[in-house]
Amino acid sequence: MTSMKNHLPLPKYHQIYLVLREQLHEGRFDLGLPGEFALMGQFGVARVTIRRALSQLAEEGLIQREPGRGTSRVTQASTGSKAVNGRGAPEQQARLTGLLENLVTMGLRTTVKVVSVQTMGAPADVAQALQFGPGTLVQKAERVRSTAEGPLSHITTWIPETIASAFGKRELAKKPVLLLLEESGVKVGRAEQTISARLADVAMARHLDVSVGSALLAVRRLIYDQDERPVQWLHGLYRPDRYEYQMQLSRVGSIDAKVWVSKELSANFH
């Protein structure tokens, strides 16, 4: 039996919905979804809770309910490899070989809504990341990026005003920031990135169309130019059901001191 965590800010039915949706996308129910009574035993909850979770899956077109029978049929759309977008074409996924190429291609294959753009004095943490004094002018931009399936990420970027003065809200809505930086004369060199987790607050839940308390992937990325000067500090929050980041690990070094090194393979979004 799977124990549902009462201390989480998500209701039990939504926790079950998230677990079942992930399993559906993994192809765990090719032979059919278990009946309501089986799911009640598996998750240790009442029938009404299971029905709410299944109803949410049905609303997304992942299953078809069988009225009066307490069973559900898995639909073709529930398998990630068979998903289609609103235009009936196979859903696109990014298959990229490098972090910076990855970011540009993702920007070109998704749509963006610019939430806000403002010039402001850099907060202390931003100034430290960009290696200049607190209060130095920066452009702060907030954007929500989406695929055909809905919101994918909420991105906040801080860029030195001396660079960002060349573009504003209109340009940010049309092109990836890395392209705008290069058009502004910046020669992008490398990036440092960390990935962690964060729960969605009220604002992020609204932007990304998730429940308050849902788990999000949290990305922090610092972009340097070819002269090793920081030119962009980014905070991103991604829906984990629509974004995944793949890495390849290899062993290097002598036998008694081998370590793992990574190579970015792809970032898939759906």
pLDDT given for residue 167 in this prediction: 92
pTM for the full predicted model = 0.60
Cα–chain center distance at 141: 18
CATH class of 99-269: alpha beta
* pLDDT of 94 over the 50 cut: no
* pLDDT of 81 over the 50 cut: no
Q: Is 1 exposed, middle or buried (0-12, 13-18, 19+ CB in 10 A)?
A: exposed
Planar angle of CA 119, 141, 131, nearest 5 degrees = 70
Domain ranges of the chain: 12-82, 99-269
Top-confidence residue, 22 or 46: 46
pLDDT given for residue 253 in this prediction: 63
Crossing angle of helices 12-25 and 47-59, rounded to 10° = 50
235-270 burial, b at 16+ Cβ within 10 Å, e below that, comes to: bbbbbebbbebeeeeeeeeeeeeeeeeeebebbbbb
* pLDDT of 185 over the 60 cut: yes
DSSP code, position 90: B
What would the CATH number be for the domain defined by 12-82?
1.10.10.10
pLDDT given for residue 33 in this prediction: 84
94-104 burial, b at 16+ Cβ within 10 Å, e below that, comes to: bebeebeebbb
State the CB neighbour count (10 A cutoff) for residue 158: 23
At residue 77 the predicted structure's pLDDT band, cuts being 50, 70 and 90, is: low
Region 51-68 average pLDDT: 84
pLDDT tens for residues 128-159?
999 998 889 999 999 999 888 889 899 999 99
